[in-house]
Structure 1
Amino acid sequence: MSDLNSRFLQAVADSKQLPERPDNMTLLRIYALYKQGSEGDVQGERPGFADFVGRAKFDAWSALQGTAPAEAQQLYIDLIESLK
């Protein structure tokens, strides 16, 4: 396992132990960076109009399209560190 990947996995664990719950925009950023870092570019269709949460998550992830997974992992690590 690479050093970046192990630090990413540690940041994922740390994200569950944050001192306070981040605001919704930060939560979307955390979600999008996690998905881009672990799965790559967004797949599938955008959720329907009535699925507000699913649509927001899809849009946040889609905004990172083309970002290398390693770069997304580092951005995720940096974001979680800033929230500690």
Structure 2
Amino acid sequence: MQANTIEEAMALTKKFTSKPSNEELLKIYALYKQATEGDNETERPGGFDFKAAAKYNAWLAQAGKSKSDASQEYVDFINEISPKYL
């Protein structure tokens, strides 16, 4: 099963039977946020919220990427990893 749109890719992730690695989850999150909201202009989370900081940094690393490019990368990445998790 291959996704062609970000909506189809999001639906595909909901069918995963096991959880992707933390690194994969961060990439999924960052590409999704970049595709839907653009560059990260939120305030950096506090120093001891490591999960929020990791998500913030992952999204920040996508800065400058267009929403359409991030959307296509998101779809491609979900298609790439989905055989492992379906």
What TM-score, normalized to structure 2? 0.86
- How do 1:43-62 and structure 2 match up within 5 A? 43-62=41-60
3-state SS of 2:45 partner = coil
- Unaligned stretches of 5+ in structure 2? none
Please state how far the C-alpha of 1:17 moved relative to its aligned partner. Answer: 1.1
- CA root-mean-square deviation: 1.2
1:76 aligned to which of 56, 74, 85: 74
- Partner residue in 2 for 1:42: 40
| Percent sequence identity over aligned pairs | 43
2:65 aligned to which of 67, 78, 84: 67
3-state SS of 1:17 partner = coil
Aligned residues: 79
List structure 1 segments (4+ residues) > 4 angstroms apart after TM superposition. none
